[in-house]
Amino acid sequence: MTTEAEGMPQGGAPEPQAEGFRYPEWLGLAALLIGLAVEILFYGRALGVSFPIWAVAVCLAALLMARAESRRPARDSAWLVIPILILAGLAFVRLEPLTLFLHVVSVLCLFAVWVRTFRTGRVLDFGWLDFAVSLLWVPLEMVFRPWATLGQANRRVFGDRATHSRLMAVARGLLLALPIVVVLALLLTAADVIFADVLRKAFEWLDLERLADLARRGVVVLVCAVLFLGALVAALRSPGDRRLIGEDKPIALPFLGFTESAVVLTGVNLLFAAFVLVQVRYLFGGQANITAAGYTYAEYARRGFGELVAVAILTLGLIMALGAFSHRTNSGQRTGFQVLSASLVVLVGVILASAFQRLLLYEQAYGFTRLRAYTHVAIVWIGVLFVLFLTLLFTGNLRPFAPAAVGAAIGFALTLSGLNVDDFIVRRNAERWRAGGELDIYYLTSLSEDAIPALAALAGDSPASVQSELLPRLACQQAWLDRRDQDGWPATHLSALRARAAIQPWAQVLSAYAVDDEGPRYAWTVERGDGQAIGCFYPAYD
């Protein structure tokens, strides 16, 4: 049962209640169409244009059903459709794994927030717990909310007697018995070879594999339809007097004095100041100081940039916790807390600059990889978050920091998409190779389709020694694109189309290489010109 005045569950699962929808059968039909769309667009296929099509279909279904039920969506949450569709569209543009993952997850999370605020709005006033409730409670509502509406639709379509008719009872019994009988039959066939042979001969006139595939597809359609119906019901139902968590009064009252908070902040400030002094002398002071201390530049750069980022994030949490749980009873204490926090933020900014500089040095020594590119972008966005936090700290209202942090997370995903991570890695490593560095072709050719245009350009601007390693693996990429094409039009992807166009001038050359594409992708091999078989892809890619 839920307490709408608080907007949070009070234990247990949501209790299904008839919401009195005017057209429950339309809601059920819309959910069924979305379930069919999921099966058509995604079942057994790689992600492609299917994802933005699905996102558009879901948004349209929600808005059309809201109009049919005369339940107008809140204006200050309807704008969420814009980032949802942008992020879904960008999932059609990039295939780099983390970029694609972040776009898909961001869309799903924004959908959850939209469902939660469909009638009430006020997304920009959300706190951390409001976002947490949206992401945890809405999936539960998707499971438990649809059943009352399904019953209402059933009575509307078939009449009140449908529930009690013998035919419907038999149908329900068959639906319950079928999965039970199938599971038990599978266990018995696994336990007894003779019984398995008898069962196989008894049903050999049926295409059991085809029936099993149809059953799996049917389950996908029904499950997705029920979940989407639950989301529709959760979005359109009356929200009651739903309030934001902690808006009227804090969740926990301050229990620390100003003195304790000041001591903590001062201690951390002194520690960070000492660290910054070392950084100014050794890292920012140049290579001579580092080598004089007994380290190589690469060794010093390699150590600790991940730990420095962790320190920055933990410090942000520390300031937020002290700000929420410490008393500041007069203007002097408030000013002192702001000054100590601001100095800590400045020192953390220097630490982030140190982490950024270490990463640059590491890349100069060892080249670019995905993890290093991710970290570069993340450090910049963490720095933006600290500036926003410092601004809100001096205004005395930290509640808007939660939506700001969500916006920064989305900005991180958008930046990765704009950077085109895999293309960036190939181009920067190619520049480093031309300047006298090493070139790890094995790693570069194991990146996603986003990297293929840059790899094709590298093949046209490299000596025979590089081409002998690069072209066979481009033949592997061509075979992978051929495999992707078998998934049909829903798997069509802009990155794959650009990759196909980039290697088209090399098609005749690449066709001379024999690719063994049996088994999982990481096990593929290709024969080079000398007859030696080499691995196609980096094992860690999959």
Q: How confident is the model at residue 188 (pLDDT cuts 50, 70, 90)?
A: confident
| pLDDT for position 328 | 77
Nearest by Cα to 67 from 234, 232, 230 = 232
Q: How confident is the model at residue 296 (pLDDT cuts 50, 70, 90)?
A: low
| pLDDT for position 539 | 52
| pLDDT for position 8 | 40
pLDDT of residue 59 exceeding 90: yes
Q: How far is CA 341 from CA 276, 307, 308, 417, 452, in A?
A: 16, 21, 18, 34, 47
Is the entire prediction scored with pTM above 0.95? no
| pLDDT for position 207 | 67
How many Cα atoms within 13 Å fall on the side-chain side of residue 291?
5
First-to-last C-alpha distance (Å) of the chain: 43
Q: How confident is the model at residue 290 (pLDDT cuts 50, 70, 90)?
A: very low
pLDDT of residue 248 exceeding 70: no
| pLDDT for position 105 | 96
Q: How confident is the model at residue 225 (pLDDT cuts 50, 70, 90)?
A: very high
pLDDT of residue 161 exceeding 80: no
Which among 161-165, 200-204, 260-264, 413-417 has the top mean pLDDT?
413-417
Structure token pair of residue 272: 């960070």
| pLDDT for position 252 | 64
Q: How confident is the model at residue 229 (pLDDT cuts 50, 70, 90)?
A: very high
- Residue 258 CA to residue 47 CA, distance in Å, equals 53
| pLDDT for position 178 | 76
On whether the CB atoms of residues 516 and 484 are closer than 8 A, the answer is no
More confident call, 437 vs 98? 98
To which H or E segment does residue 2 belong?
Answer: strand 2-3
How many Cα atoms within 13 Å fall on the side-chain side of residue 42?
15
Q: Looking at 12-21, 352-361, 373-382, 450-459, which range is the least confident one?
A: 12-21
| pLDDT for position 32 | 93
Q: Looking at 90-99, 122-131, 239-248, which range is the least confident one?
A: 239-248
More confident call, 303 vs 47? 47
Range 401-434 burial, b when 16+ CB lie within 10 A, else e: bbbbbbbbbbebbbbbbebbbbbbbbbbbbebbe
| pLDDT for position 79 | 93
Q: How confident is the model at residue 18 (pLDDT cuts 50, 70, 90)?
A: very low
Q: What are the two backbone dihedrals, phi and then psi, of residue 326, each rounded to the nearest 5 degrees? A: -115, 145
On whether the CB atoms of residues 320 and 401 are closer than 8 A, the answer is yes
Average pLDDT, the chain: 83
- What is the mean pLDDT of the segment spanning 187-215? 77
On whether the CB atoms of residues 47 and 104 are closer than 8 A, the answer is yes
- Residue 516 CA to residue 105 CA, distance in Å, equals 34
Q: Looking at 3-12, 217-226, 483-492, which range is the least confident one?
A: 3-12
Q: Looking at 107-116, 153-162, 300-309, 426-435, which range is the least confident one?
A: 300-309
| pLDDT for position 86 | 96
Beta-bridge partners for 274: none
- What is the mean pLDDT of the segment spanning 376-386? 87
| pLDDT for position 291 | 47
| pLDDT for position 165 | 64
More confident call, 197 vs 247? 197
- What is the mean pLDDT of the segment spanning 194-209? 74
Q: How far is CA 407 from CA 314, 371, 424, in A?
A: 19, 22, 24
Q: How confident is the model at residue 367 (pLDDT cuts 50, 70, 90)?
A: confident
Which among 10-14, 30-34, 194-198 has the top mean pLDDT?
30-34
| pLDDT for position 321 | 82
At residue 453, the 3 state secondary structure works out as helix
| pLDDT for position 251 | 66
Kindly calculate the radius of gyration of the chain based on its CA atoms and give it in whole angstroms. 29
How many Cα atoms within 13 Å fall on the side-chain side of residue 333?
15
On whether the CB atoms of residues 19 and 238 are closer than 8 A, the answer is yes
Q: Looking at 6-10, 90-94, 329-333, 456-460, which range is the least confident one?
A: 6-10
Q: How far is CA 507 from CA 181, 335, 446, 459, 504, in A?
A: 52, 68, 19, 13, 5
Per-residue pLDDT reduced to its tens digit, 339-349: 888 888 888 88
| pLDDT for position 302 | 52
CB atoms within 10 A of CB 60: 12
pLDDT of residue 431 exceeding 80: yes
CB atoms within 10 A of CB 395: 8
Per-residue pLDDT reduced to its tens digit, 257-276: 888 888 988 998 999 888 88
pLDDT of residue 498 exceeding 60: yes
